[in-house]
Structure 1
Amino acid sequence: MADIQETLLDQWAKRAVWLDGCDIETEYRQAREEGRSLASVEQEFQALIATPRTGPEWRNAVGGARGREWMQRVGDLIDRVQTLPFRADYQYEEPSDLDGIRQSRPASVDLPLWSGSDLEWERRLHGALLGRTIGCMLGKPVEGWDVASIRVTAEATGNWPLTDYLRKPTEAEDAAIETQSPKHRLHSWHAPMLRGTMHGMVEDDDTNYTTIGYSIVREFGKDFQPLDVAVYWCQNVPILHTCTAERIAYRNFVVNVLPPQSATARNPYREWIGAQIRADYFGYANPGNPTRAAEWAWRDASISHIKNGIYGEMWVAAMLAAAYVENDWVKVIRTGLAQIPALCRLREDIEGILTLYAEGVNYDGAVAAIHKQWNETNPHDWCHTNSNAQIVALGLLYGEDDFEKTITRAVMAGFDTDCNGATCGSLWGVKHGFDAIPNKWSEPISDTLRTGVVGYHEVAISKLAADMLETARKER
């Protein structure tokens, strides 16, 4: 019985990761980067970070007395971080409230008005949803991989630079991969995500949240509020289908910590990529209206994120709205930036990619610059909003307005590969429409999307796009 109990505890610990919020290393990085003055708690942080955490007495959340005591100390410290002042020399202005964001953003970018028919709107929206699905599927098998591992596997299967979905290596190819000792390998459970063995889109949070965003607007209307988002999640999405900041926000809802406090209560992941991947429907539903798309995105993001975590969702939603009416990717990107504060880290980081592109730095050079700034082996860097937003900008700028190059160059750059492939595919799709996406990429998806959202466990992408349009028209 004791052995069974130990096994069950181990299984729960693996599934409950991100629930306790006691990721002390990430909290330390996050608090420093958002500008908190940590002088009064520096020694306490260092002592907790340096504490060895091995053995059964340290089991996550359900461990022995030593583990529980450590977690209590970490939790208390993380709570205190929210009361600390910001450093006087902090150079950024990064509000999280909507009024503050509006007051600190630059002048808007002029765009043409959307004048397309409903048929054209559906063609574009369908393209965005299909493009998002394809880009996500391309990146999903290598999510969490370092670039070297992606390249080793792709090269061994004759697919580098990427020009198609990944496929399962032959025995000889797998042996060659093994000799190069990559950190990550393809396994049998990857089969539903690989060329030749995929049959429609597998469930993924990147497509779950697009469906969720649509469902929230359908249920609560265009005036939905952050609390409506929290209620919808709790009623329609199992908690373990969420990750990082979203899982912690969900935990907070359950114990009656509601928005906006749900975004900060023991949430070290409050500027990670989670909100950025939730933007899409808010852009789909607002063609040519990036300001309203960004506002809807703020209402969604503010339940789980702050500062640049929020800005990432606003930026993507605004770009999607702009891509209906603007053909220049530089202007699309700048239209998104016009919805976020002028003096924020996300703007600075994306401007860095725009500068590299304007100066003629090639794709490999731009990728190298991102990897120099961020450490892909550090979870905070790998999953941060800003590092991945830079890769989205990279994919759009260096994709040469070609669908295949846009999504593959986003995935080849590494970091959160499925998220970045999905966002780039979505943006390209809304600009060009579903019928512009090559059959090579669309046919393996079989017009089928699977999600973890109640009522949408398996749905035709074309049918979902039509339903999304119907709701968008009603709430325009």
Structure 2
Amino acid sequence: MNGPAMSGAAASGPAMSGAGDLRLTWVQPEDLIGHELAQAARDGRDATEIERRWHEAGGHPAPPRAGASPAAATPRLRALAEELLDELALLESPLAVYEPTDLAGIRAMCAAWSPGRGAHGTPPPADAPAGAGAPTHPLADVPPRTACGPQDLKVFGATPAPTAVPAHSAPAPHATEALPRTDPAAGPATDTFTRTAPATRAHPEAPDRPVHTTANTGPARPSPVTVAQLHAAWLGRAAGCLLGKPVEKLPLAGIRALAAATGNWPLRSWFTAKGVPAELTAAYPWNRRSAPTSLAENIDGMPEDDDLNYPLLNLLLLQRHGREFTTAEAAKLWLDELPAGRTFTAERVAYGNLLHGIEPPRTAVHHNPFREWIGAAIRADVHGWTHPGDPTAAAEQAYRDAVLTHTANGVYGAMFVAATIASAAGQGQGQGQGQGQGQGQGTDGDVHACLRAGLSVVPPRSRLADAVRLGIAVAGEHARTDFEPVVDLLHSALGHYHWVHVVPNTALLAAALTHADGDFTGSICRAVSGGWDTDSNGATAGSVAGLLAGHPDRLPERWTAPLKNRLATSVGGFDGIGFDTLAEITHQLAAPAPAPEEAPHP
């Protein structure tokens, strides 16, 4: 995920003649209000009257792809936007019962922290009986949903029934069988959702220090992750990000057409402008900021991207404050080390909130309509890399980072990624047979177990969990076909979300990893070819698949050689650093192997 800090005249260079020339992206109230209205619709909050007032006053909808509208609002309209943002914040969501933001509420709902789990929250095996490891907290009795929010109910043909109380069931949240069939072609779903329990506090005060839930006694143990695995993970994250950069923000049809024009569809290598007809690039222009450094003919090392900046920042966080860092310490580090112009969406809003004296976790909610977008998830890799084999510890560490900027599904996305990566990091060194030169490469890692670990830390009735299960199920049903039908079904079901929202992007990530069976080339190419936030999805897929490959030599050279072991960044002290050095630093920060529990849970 990347984009300009400014748009319009200020971005293009002419001297500014007035306030209207400064179009700072992702923060202007007149642009935020449209996104907050869209978030309210996703949440089932009735904002009809607020929306009417906005439009009658001359307000515009949210920009569909850019971070700012072409022209600034009048002072009167901007003041109204700020007033309406405050009013929207007071509307309660009927989905809050399924989607707590406080860690205690998340733990209570999730299988990873339930009695009967394996050591350190590892999920039951795929063939475990239905309901194994299901949560025992009273909120576990909340009826399951089949959709991802009120507008999704329309897609799947279901209708909300706030007063109905259907029979309860608690399927295992890690099992794909728990997903009702949501293929639109298979007919409408008819399940309902209710509000039968009080909503958990959405924005609690963040604890000063984390509460440990993982055993860590006995003599020191070496980390189960190797430097080679981490090297492959860093390279994988960079290559996947770089693959997606030139087509970020493009619609699905454009990505497919540009790749097909050069014989690169299904996607299997870098995008190139060579041989693409001019009329095609006019219809689907490459990302103007990224194309000069990310098309095949232009790649010369890894250019700067926020998908790599945040892992670097989190290395600094762990170096300075250790794995017990607080959210406040993360916020201070941002102010010290992260240039404001290198932040986007939720991160930029939270950064501005910090500068206005607003403290975490309120930084995540004050005038922040992007709090359930993908930003926290792209910061989560380091939390997984440094807790190999310990998904719950990784998820809790990611939580303390995420609540600086995100809530609910936005936080779950980070926890899901961290736990998935922690599981991959703890699976060994990937003794596959591939030697890194062909279409893919072998791996002994089980990507499906990794995804189950990721789901085990996500509230099972949340929209994020629904979407991930949908992605896994659809990919499984099309395992013997190409990936296009999977993508088409996901876009049909989830295409009403913004292209940077965490829900559709995490569904696509899970589908890509499932369909590719963890293969490196297959994983990053599927993630990018599915559209939406292409560079962020490619980056996370590459991180997981790189870990499972286990060694840089098992990644195809066409992906790693152009990186030239060099990363550009504006995060202080890291510009020009090599991925091998980053792997060494990360390994020094990794937790030791989790201690076995003294006795199994009853």
Higher RCO by CA contacts (8 Å cutoff, separation 6 or greater): 1
Among residues 51, 56, 72, which one is paired with 1:47 in the alignment?
56
2:570 counterpart SS class: coil
Q: Is the 8 A contact 2:478 2:485 kept in 1?
A: no
Measured after TM superposition, the shift of residue 44 of structure 1 is 2.6
Decide whether aligned partners of structure 1 residues 302 and 48 sit closer, same or farther in structure 2, where only a CA change above 3 A counts.
farther
Measured in 2, the distance between the counterparts of 1:47 and 1:104 equals: 42
CA distance in 2, matches of 1:368, 1:263: 32
**468, 476, 492: which one aligns with 1:372:** 492
Match among 527, 550, 557 for residue 439 of structure 1: 557
Q: CA distance change for structure 1 residues 188 and 92 in 2, over 3 Å: closer, same or farther?
A: closer
Aligned to 1:19: 27
Q: What letter corresponds to residue 256 of structure 1 in structure 2?
A: G
Distance 2:61 2:520 in 1: 48
Structure 1 residue corresponding to 2:498, chosen from 381, 385, 390 = 381
1:329 aligns with 2:339: no
Contact 1:144 1:415 in 2 (8 A): yes
CA contact (8 A) 1:92 1:345 kept: no
TM-score by length of 1: 0.88
Deviations 1:354-380 (A, max 9, x none): 2223334642221011111233xx7x5
Matched, 1:449 2:567: yes
User: Partner letter of residue 17 of structure 1?
Assistant: T
Matched residue, 1:102: 107
- For residues 234 and 57 of structure 2, the distance between their equivalents in structure 1, rounded to whole angstroms, comes to 44
Cα displacement (A) at 1:185: 3.6
**Against the structure 1 CA distance between its residues 445 and 195, is the aligned structure 2 distance closer, same or farther, given a 3 Å change threshold?**
same
Q: In structure 2, what is the Cα distance between the partners aligned to 1:177 and 1:470?
A: 49
Indicate if the aligned counterparts of 1:156 and 1:177 stay in contact, CA closer than 8 A: no
Report matched runs for 1:43-442 at 5 Å: 43-47=52-56, 50=59, 63=72, 67-87=74-94, 90=95, 93-107=98-112, 110=118, 111=122, 121-169=226-274, 173-174=275-276, 176-178=277-279, 182-185=283-286, 190-326=291-427, 327-360=445-478, 362=481, 363-375=483-495, 380-433=497-550, 434-442=552-560
Residues 101 and 408 of structure 2 are in contact (CA less than 8 Å); yes or no, is this contact kept in structure 1?
A: yes
3-state SS of paired residue (1:273): coil
> Secondary structure of the equivalent of 1:449?
coil
Q: TM-score, normalised by structure 2?
A: 0.70
Structure 1 residues 152 and 360: CA distance shift in structure 2, 3 A? closer
The count of corresponding residues between Structure 1 and Structure 2 is 457
Identity %: 33
8 Å CA contact 1:21–1:268 kept in 2: the answer is no
Q: Is the 8 A contact 2:224 2:389 kept in 1?
A: no
Which residue number in structure 1 is paired with residue 144 of structure 2?
A: none
Q: Write the distance in 2 (CA, Å) between the matches of 1:82 and 1:188.
A: 34
Q: Answer whether contact 1:199 1:446 (CA < 8 A) is retained.
A: yes
1:52 Cα deviation from its structure 2 partner: 9.2
Alignment pair present for 1:471 and 2:586: no
Structure 2: runs of 5 or more not aligned: 1-12, 124-214, 428-444, 595-602
Letter in 2 for 1:312: G
Residue deviations 1:408-464, cap 9 Å, x none? Answer: 111111110000000000001112222311111111001111112111122111111
Alpha-carbon offset, residue 35 of structure 1: 3.7
Deviation at 1:219, TM superposition (A): 0.8
In the alignment, the residues of structure 1 paired with residue 289 and residue 394 of structure 2 have an alpha-carbon distance, to the nearest angstrom, of 40
Compute the RMSD of aligned alpha carbons.
3.0
Where in structure 1 are there 5+ consecutive unaligned residues?
none
By how many angstroms is 1:320 displaced?
Answer: 0.3
Residue by residue over 1:93-150, the C-alpha shift from the partner in whole angstroms, topping out at 9 and shown as x without a partner, is: 1111111111122355644999996595211111111100010011111111112212
Alignment partner of 2:525: what SS? helix
> Compared with structure 1, are the counterparts of its residues 31 and 122 closer, same or farther at alpha carbon in structure 2 (3 Å cutoff)?
same
**By percentage of residues, which structure has more helix?**
1
